[in-house]
Amino acid sequence: MSEILLERVGKFAAEAKAKIVPLRKGETVIEVDQANVRNFISHLVQDLSVRHLTTITGLDLGENIGIMYNFSQERETIHVRTTVPKASTAVSIVDIIPGAILYEMEVHDMFGTSFEGNPWNDRKLLLPDNWPSDLPPPLLKSSKPAEIRRRLNLEAPTKE
């Protein structure tokens, strides 16, 4: 991260008890916990004018789900990462950045994390309508494609 940006982010990071992990030139990861992530992102958007949210990436980290907000501004990419336990609820940032609405729906579909405050949280974005409710979300490491295919009737010929 550039020196100026690093200094300005550093102030808010200390306040939010966040950890700055530089990956390489132009790419940084900032780890924040759930309680402070909304505050931190508000600072990024309003005070530092880092307004472009590229996407929200979900990660299966074993016991937790990682939620990475990928921001980009000029030559800097800033990943703000937070973690929640599996099958629990995370906070939504749709009121700070309205463009986040579809990305949160995608993480909900793929990893099973609910976003509290997202108006379309109970809708499916990508998964088919006949997705069985007892099947675990597909992008978890424990989900097996062969099992999903069997449950969605994609293996056997459908001769109805």
Partner 1 sequence: MSTDRDKRLREESAGLMEYSAENLVPFGPIHPSLKEPEYFKIILEGERIVNVIPRIGYVHRGLEKAAETRPWVQNMYMFERTCGICSFVHSLCYGQAVEGLTIFQVPKRAEYIRLIICEMERIHSHLLWVGLMGHWTGFETLFMWVWQDREVVLDLVEAISGNRIHKSMNAFCGVRRDMPEGMEKHIVELMKFLTDRARYYRQIIDTEETILERTQKVGAHINQDTVEKLCAVGPMARYVGLRHDVRLNNPYAAYGEVPFEIVTRKEGDVQALLRLRLDEIIVSANMISYAVENLPDGPIKVKIPPVIPAGEHSSCCEAPRGEIFYYVKSTGGRTPDRVKSRQPTLANLPLALEILKGQTLADVPVVLTAIDPCFGCMDRMSFLDTEENKQWSWSGEQLRQYGINYYFPDKKGKGKA
Partner 2 sequence: MLDQVAKWARKRSPWIFHINASSCNGCDIELVASLTPRYDIERFGAVLVPSPRHADVLMVTGTVNAQTRGPLKRVYEQVPEPKHVIAIGACAATGGVFKGCYNVGQGIQDVIPVDMFIPGCPPRPEAIMYGVLKLLGEVD
**Residues at the interface with partner 1 (CB under 8 A):** 23-24, 26-27, 29, 51-55, 57-60, 68, 70, 72, 74-75, 77, 79, 97-103, 106, 110, 123-129, 138-139, 143, 145, 148
The entry of partner 1, partner 2, none near residue 48 (CB within 5 to 8 angstroms by kind) is none
Rounded least distance, CB 54 to partner 1, Å: 5
Tokens of 26: 């132009």
Distances (CA, A) of 7 to 10, 50, 75: 5, 15, 17
By CB under 8 A, name the binding residues for partner 2.
128-131, 138, 143, 145, 148-149, 152-158, 160
The entry of partner 2, partner 1, none near residue 47 (CB within 5 to 8 angstroms by kind) is none
Kindly tell me which of 4 and 156 has the beta carbon lying closer to partner 2.
156
